[in-house]
Structures are given as C-alpha cells and as structure tokens.
Amino acid sequence: MKTLESKTAEETLALGEALGRQISQGLAMALKGDLGAGKTTFVKGLAKGLGVSEDYYITSPTFTIINEYPASPLTLYHLDLYRLSSAEELDDIGFDDIAGDKHVIVVEWPEILKEISFPFDMEIRFEFDENYNRRISVLASGQEGMNLLSKLVL
Ligand SMILES: Nc1ncnc2c1ncn2[C@@H]1O[C@H](COP(=O)(O)OP(=O)(O)OP(=O)(O)O)[C@@H](O)[C@H]1O
Ligand SMILES: [Mg+2]
C-alpha cells in the first residue's frame, strides 16, 4: 500500500496522471470514498496520463453510469455505480461487454460489484483527514496491480 496526503485538487490530478502514465495493459480499479472526496478528480488526471485527448471533458458519470474515452492503446471506462440498486442492473448498462476485455475500467461506488465477485487489480481509497485534506491510499491485488503499484513513485 502507498499513501499520499493531497492538499489540493491539483495534487490528486497529478497522482491520477502519474498512475495513468504507467499503465500499459488493461486493468480494473475500484475507487472508494465519500461524496466529494476526489474520485472523479483523480479520474481526470488518470485520463490525461493514459493519453485521452484533451478534447474530451471528463465529467462525472453520475447519471450516465458509464463514460467511455478512447485512448491509445487502451480505452478508459469510467463508471459510477452510486445509482444502481442491484447487480442485475449491470446487464442494462452493458457491464458484461466491457468487463472481460483489456480495458482500463475505473469504478466509483464499486460495492455492488461484490455481488458478482468482480476482480479488481487495484483499490484506491479517498479519505478526508482532520484538516479536510485528502489521504489517498493505493492498494494492489494480483500481479498486475502489484506491478503498477511498484512503479508508482509518490
Ligand atoms: N485534495 C483534493 N483532492 C481532490 N479534490 C479536491 C481536493 N481538495 C479539494 N477538492 C475538490 O473537491 C471536489 C472533489 O469532487 P469529486 O467530484 O472529485 O469527488 P468524488 O469523490 O468523485 O464525489 P462523488 O462520490 O460525489 O462522485 C472537487 O470540487 C475538487 O476541486
Ligand atoms: Mg465522482
């Protein structure tokens, strides 16, 4: 596990960008933390690091559930499952179509995926500390997650 104290949105963006630059193959990331903790901000940086064109404005998928951003060679799928009430609704949003493939899948409010035992390579936890700064912890599971974590310099 690696932990960073982020005092500004820019620092959270920079973390996402640094991680995105190191990603060379598909993987899935769970983003956990309260409302406004910085998950979507992190994804904006991640998109930049992955090489998503700056013509795309990265917005929260609160209502769309899934946003897709092509990058080369990987496509970024940004999900927010806050509004889903059961894993059955995953069918309606086409989750199966992306889950098996080599994409970068980043999921805010991922708890519902436990029901289908969806395997994540990485988990990122966003917490507020006592000064309202963010404490961001990056945890890896599996070989791909470990490799990526080892390349991340904080
Ligand atoms: N250190 C920080 N890291 C990230 N965001 C910060 C930080 N300090 C202030 N902010 C601000 O906090 C807000 C974080 O919002 P963001 O949409 O990223 O949260 P979220 O975790 O995705 O919330 P939600 O669960 O509602 O989707 C932004 O307005 C951002 O500018
Ligand atoms: Mg969000």
Q: Which ligand is nearest to the CA of 38?
A: 1
In this predicted structure, what is the pLDDT of residue 10?
A: 98
Q: Is the pTM higher than 0.85?
A: yes
In this predicted structure, what is the pLDDT of residue 117?
A: 95
Closest C-alpha to ligand 1, atom 1 = 8
39 lines ligand 1 (CB under 6 A): yes
Question: Which parts of the chain sit beneath pLDDT 50?
Answer: none
**Could you give the 3-state DSSP secondary structure of residue 105?**
strand
In this predicted structure, what is the pLDDT of residue 101?
A: 76
With the most atoms of ligand 1 within 8 angstroms of its CB, the residue from 41, 63, 64, 84 to mutate is 41
In this predicted structure, what is the pLDDT of residue 34?
A: 95
Closest C-alpha to ligand 1, atom 30 = 9
**Alpha-carbon 149 to chain mean position:** 14
Taking the centre of ligand 1 as the mean of its atom positions, its distance from the CA of residue 137, in whole angstroms, is 15
In this predicted structure, what is the pLDDT of residue 100?
A: 76
| Neighbour-count burial for 79-92, b at 16+ CB within 10 Å, e otherwise | bbbeebeebeebee
Phi then psi dihedrals of residue 32, to 5 deg: -115, 145
Separation between Cα atoms, residue 63 and residue 102, nearest integer Å? 25
Q: For the domain that residue 81 is a member of, what is the CATH number? A: 3.40.50.300
What does the CA dihedral 91, 26, 140, 129 come to, rounded to 10 degrees?
Answer: -70
Containing domain of residue 43, as a range? 2-151
Range 57-64 contact pairs with CB under 8 angstroms and sequence separation of 24 or more: 60/108, 61/108
The number of folded domains in the chain is 1
Environment of ion ligand 2 (residues, CB < 5 A)? 39-40, 60, 108
Separation between Cα atoms, residue 126 and residue 128, nearest integer Å? 7
